[in-house]
């Protein structure tokens, strides 16, 4: 890998420059072409997940194994975290056991910012509260880039519960840095007009938002982060905002449909669209392994250089 990456942690995309974002995407693309089964031999990856995960955790684990690293089985629920040990103490102890990489998912936004500098090991954010989910956004971008070659002049709509979505935030930061135009769409309580200050166009009418789009990234309603009253009912939400075949047809003919998962079929997306010819949802999942290989490998390089 030839690049200028010097960071040992990947905590978010807001403060990552375009060159570093491109370095991850390039590394992911090269891992997809040629495996590197010894690159992380001797490294140990630990997973600290205090929220549910299917795709993120399994693909990080697959990524670590494909690079020759070991994965330490660790469950936050059965650990001393449950006995009141601080997260920093837990991580320092695991580091003493030999952990070189932490992959962390946590319900508190920004929880890793203070912890990462206190550790020699790499820290990779696998989703923190509403804040960021950098590797999800990067795998979304890799999937788009493979089809498009460049983001210049592309219009990407992010549709759904943006207020509670770390995926939307990380996507916005990265897409804008690489030159795409981003439109946020959803009902006002979930997509406040104030989001326009982030440099995004806010559109509440789904038909208007989708017209002429090159891609739509559909998000579920994050009911676990929501108090009552953000949407009248799931049925009302579906009526007004579900990505139906008719609505998907308003985009450009070659437009792509993305979803980070988990999908709630029949709520934010119709099954015909999720399983239809424009959908790249399972390609996203497959690309997740390569993006996570890139994140683990580049952070390891940063750890060695730092």
Binding site for ligand NCD (CB under 6 A): 55-56, 127, 133, 136, 166-167, 220, 222, 260-261
Question: What CA–CA distance (Å, rounded) separates 284 from 291?
Answer: 10
- Cβ at position 89, least distance to ligand NCD in Å: 26
| Closer by beta carbon to ligand NCD, 187 or else 260 | 260
- Cβ at position 104, least distance to ligand NCD in Å: 13
Scan for tokens 């979505």, then name that residue. Answer: 165
| Closer by beta carbon to ligand NCD, 92 or else 234 | 234
What is the total residue count of the chain? 306
In terms of DSSP H, where are the helices of 76-200?
87-97, 112-115, 134-148, 166-177
| Closer by beta carbon to ligand NCD, 119 or else 158 | 158
- Cβ at position 14, least distance to ligand NCD in Å: 16
> 3-class DSSP state for residue 302?
helix
| Closer by beta carbon to ligand NCD, 133 or else 303 | 133
Residue 14's contacts (CB-CB under 8 Å, 6 or more residues apart) are 132, 169, 170, 173
| Closer by beta carbon to ligand NCD, 129 or else 302 | 129
> 3-class DSSP state for residue 230?
coil
Q: Which tokens is 193 given?
A: 């007009």
| Residue, CB closest to ligand NCD | 260
- Cβ at position 54, least distance to ligand NCD in Å: 8
**Judging by beta carbons within 10 Å of its beta carbon (0-12, 13-18, 19+), is residue 145 exposed, middle or buried?**
buried
| Closer by beta carbon to ligand NCD, 125 or else 301 | 125
| Closer by beta carbon to ligand NCD, 5 or else 130 | 130
- Cβ at position 242, least distance to ligand NCD in Å: 16
Q: Which tokens is 103 given?
A: 């992959």
Scan for tokens 């953000």, then name that residue. Answer: 230
Pairing of the two strands 215-218 and 101-106: unpaired
- Cβ at position 36, least distance to ligand NCD in Å: 25
Residue 177's contacts (CB-CB under 8 Å, 6 or more residues apart) are 13, 16, 17, 18, 21
- Cβ at position 53, least distance to ligand NCD in Å: 6
């Amino acid at each position: 890998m030839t690049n200028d990456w010097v960071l040992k942690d990947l905590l978010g995309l807001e403060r990552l420059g375009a060159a570093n974002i491109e370095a991850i995407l390039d590394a992911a693309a090269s891992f997809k072409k040629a495996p590197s089964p010894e690159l992380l031999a001797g490294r140990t990856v630990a997973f600290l997940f205090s929220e549910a995960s299917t795709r993120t955790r399994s693909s990080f684990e697959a990524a670590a194994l494909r690079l020759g690293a070991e994965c330490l089985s660790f469950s936050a629920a059965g650990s001393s975290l449950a006995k009141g040990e601080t997260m920093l103490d837990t991580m320092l102890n695991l580091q003493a056991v030999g952990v070189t990489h932490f992959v962390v998912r946590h319900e508190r936004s920004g929880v890793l910012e203070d912890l990462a500098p206190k550790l020699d090991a790499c820290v990779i954010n696998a989703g923190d509260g509403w804040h960021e989910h950098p590797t999800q956004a990067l795998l979304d971008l890799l999937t788009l880039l493979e089809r498009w070659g460049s983001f210049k002049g592309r219009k990407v709509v992010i549709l759904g519960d943006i207020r509670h979505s770390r995926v939307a935030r990380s996507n916005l930061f990265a897409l804008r840095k690489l030159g795409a135009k981003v439109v946020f769409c959803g009902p006002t309580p979930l997509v406040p007009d104030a989001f326009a200050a982030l440099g995004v166009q806010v559109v509440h009418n789904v038909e208007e938002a989708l017209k002429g789009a090159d891609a739509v990234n559909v998000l579920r309603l994050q009911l676990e982060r929501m108090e009552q009253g953000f949407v009248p009912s799931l049925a009302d939400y579906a009526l007004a905002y579900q990505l139906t075949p008719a609505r998907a047809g308003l985009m450009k003919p070659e437009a792509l449909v993305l979803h980070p998962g988990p999908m709630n079929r029949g709520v934010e997306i119709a099954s015909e669209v999720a399983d239809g010819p424009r959908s790249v949802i399972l390609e996203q999942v497959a690309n997740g392994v390569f993006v996570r290989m890139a994140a683990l490998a580049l952070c390891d390089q940063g750890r060695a250089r730092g």
